Structure 1
Amino acid sequence: MRRDRGDEITPAGYRAAMPDSAEWLVFLSATLVFAVVPGPGMLYVIARALSGGWREGVRSVLGTAAGATVHVVAAAAGLSAVLATSATAFTVVKLAGAAYLVYLGVRALVARDEGARVELGEAASQRRGRATFLQGVVTEVLNPKTALFFLAFIPHFVHEDRGSAPLTFAVLGVVVVGAAMLADLVAVTFAGPLGQRLARDPRWRVRQRVASGLTMIGLGGALVLAENA
C-alpha cells in the first residue's frame, strides 16, 4: 500500500526525532561522565599503550571504537535486543569475549623479552598495526555489556513519535562512541610515552608485560562475572 505524502519521513522529521535543547544538555553531560570514568575499555587501551607504546594504544582505541560502532548499528537495527532478552545469547557472547581477553593476557605473559623495542620494517609494522586494531575490534564486539549500555541509555533520548528512531539512535550512539574515543586517546597520550620510556629498562619491560597480561586476564574475569541486566 502506498504511503500518503503526509506519512513520509522528511529531513525535518529526522531532526524532530532528535533530543531538544534541554535533552541534549542532559545527554552530553551524561555521555561526558561515562566517557571519562575509567571502565574496562579504557583500562584495556591503557594496558596496550603501556606494553606497546603510543602507536599501539592509538590503534587499540580505534579498534575498540570500531567495535562499539558495530554495537550501535546492531542496536539501531534491533539486533542487540536479542542479547537483552536471551540469556543464552548473552552468555555465549560474554564467554567468548572473556576467553579472548584471557587469551591475549596469557599471550602477553608468556611472550619472550626481545629487548628494547626496535624499529620494524614497513611490512611488519603494518601487520602489527592491523593485528592491534583487529584485536581492539574483537574485544569490544564480544563485550555484551556495551550493547546493553546502548540499549539502556540512548532510548531515553529518542522520540519515536517524531521521526526515524533507528537513525536517531545511530546518531546518538556515534556521539557516545566519539566521546569515549576522545577520552581513551587522552589516556593513551599519557600512558604511551610512559610505556616507551619504561621499555628501555629490562626490568620494567618484564613488569609492563606482566601488568598488561594480568590486566587483560582480570578484564576477562570481570566479564565472566557480568550479569545480564
Structure 2
Amino acid sequence: MFTEIMAAAGVLALLTVVPGPDMAVVTERAVGAGWHDGLRTVGGITAGLLVWGVLTVAGLAAVLAASATAYTVVKLLGAGYLLFLGAQALWQSRRGGRPAAAAPDATTPRGNPWRTGLVSNVLNPKIAVFYTGLLPTLAPHSLPSHLGMALLAVLHAALTLVWLGGYVMVLATARAFFERPTVRRVLDRVTGVVLIGFGLKVATADS
C-alpha cells in the first residue's frame, strides 16, 4: 500500500505544480495585498479541494461529471468568476502607476481572500472530472474504494497547501520589487489576461 500511495503522490504532485487558475488567483492576492491575504487565498483553495473530495466520496461529483446540464452550469459560473477576477485585475492596472500616497487602496484586490480561493476552486468542474476519473485509478487497492479516494483527496489538498503556500512566501520575499508602480501595473495586466484566458478556456471546454 505504501508504494501505491507514493506513486499516487508523485502523480498528484506533478498535477499540483502545473500552473493554472489557482496560481493566477494566488499571485494576484499575494502581490496585491501581501502574504497574509495570499495564504488565506491558499486556505480557501485547499478548502475547495476538500469540498470536492467530500463530494467525490459521496458520489455527487460523479453525478456532476456525468450530467451535461449540471456540468455546463458550474462551468459557466466558474468561467464567469475567472473573467470577473481578470477584469478586476485589468481595471486595477489602470491605476497601478500612481504613487501609493495618492491612491493607497487603488490596487488592492477586493473581497475576502479565503472566499475568493474557495469560490474559484469550487466552481471548477474540471476537478470533479479529475477526481472521479483519476482518483479511482490511483487509489490503493488494499483499501475500500471510498477510503482510498478520501485519502488521495486529502493528500492532494495537503500538496496544494504546501506548494501554493511556499509560492506565496517566495513572492513575499520579492514584494518590494512587485510593489514598484510600473512592475505592479505590468503584473496586474499579465495576471488579468491570464485569468481571462483561463475563464475563456473553461467556458469553451468540452465536458
Q: Within 1, Cα distance between the matches of 2:26 and 2:178?
A: 17
Quote the Cα distance in structure 2 between the aligned partners of 1:119 and 1:38. Answer: 30
Cα distance, 1:223 vs structure 2: 1.2
Q: Deviations over 1:83-122 (max 9, x none)?
A: 21111111110110010111122122223557438999xx
Question: Given the alignment, which residue of 80, 87, 90 partners 2:61?
Answer: 80
Whether the aligned pair in 2 keeps the contact of 1:44 and 1:215 (CA below 8 Å) is no
Root mean square deviation of aligned Cα: 2.6
Distance (whole Å) between structure 2 residues aligned to residue 141 and residue 176 of structure 1: 15
1:34 corresponding residue in structure 2: 15
The 1:39/1:208 distance shift into structure 2, 3 A limit, reads closer
TM-score by length of 2: 0.84
Question: SS of the counterpart of 2:162?
Answer: helix
Match in the other structure for 2:169 = 189
| Contiguous gaps of at least 5 residues in structure 1 | 1-19, 121-127
Q: 1:72: how far off?
A: 0.6
With 63-72 and 109-118 compared, the bigger mean Cα shift is at 109-118
User: After superposition, what is the alpha-carbon deviation per residue over 1:44-98, rounded to whole angstroms, capped at 9, x for unaligned?
Assistant: 3223323333222211111111111111100110001122111111111011001
Deviates more, 1:111-120 or 1:30-39: 111-120
Does residue 64 (structure 1) correspond to residue 48 (structure 2)? The answer is no
Mapped pair 1:131 → 2:112: yes
> Equivalent residue for 1:8?
none
Residues 133 and 24 (structure 1 numbering): CA distance in 2 closer, same or farther, change over 3 Å? same
Report Cα offsets for 1:130-169 as digits up to 9, x if no partner: 7011011000000001111111121124468x66432332
Q: SS of the counterpart of 2:34?
A: helix
Distance 1:115 1:178 in 2: 39
> Contact 1:57 / 1:192 at 8 angstroms: preserved in 2?
no
Which amino acid is the alignment partner of residue 159 of structure 2?
Answer: A
Count how many residue pairs are aligned between Structure 1 and Structure 2. 200
Q: Measure how far apart 1:193 and its partner are.
A: 3.2
More off after superposition, 75-84 vs 203-212: 203-212
- What is the alpha-carbon distance in structure 2 between the residues aligned to residue 65 and residue 188 of structure 1? 14
Q: 2:151 matched to which residue of 1?
A: 171
Question: In terms of Rg, which structure is larger?
Answer: 1
**Hey, what's the Cα distance between the residues in 2 that align with 1:78 and 1:220?**
27
Q: 2:137 aligns to what SS in structure 1? A: helix
Spell out the pairing of 1:187-226 with structure 2 (5 A cutoff): 187-199=167-179, 201-226=180-205
Letter in 2 for 1:110: W
Name the CA distance, whole Å, in 2 between partners of 1:110 and 1:43: 16
Deviations 1:15-67, CA, capped at 9 Å, x for gaps: xxxxx133123112212222223233223322332333322221111111111
Tell me, in whole angstroms, the C-alpha distance in 2 between the residues paired with 1:72 and 1:116. Answer: 42
User: Percent same amino acid among aligned pairs?
Assistant: 35
C-alpha distance in 2 between matches for 1:88 and 1:134: 25
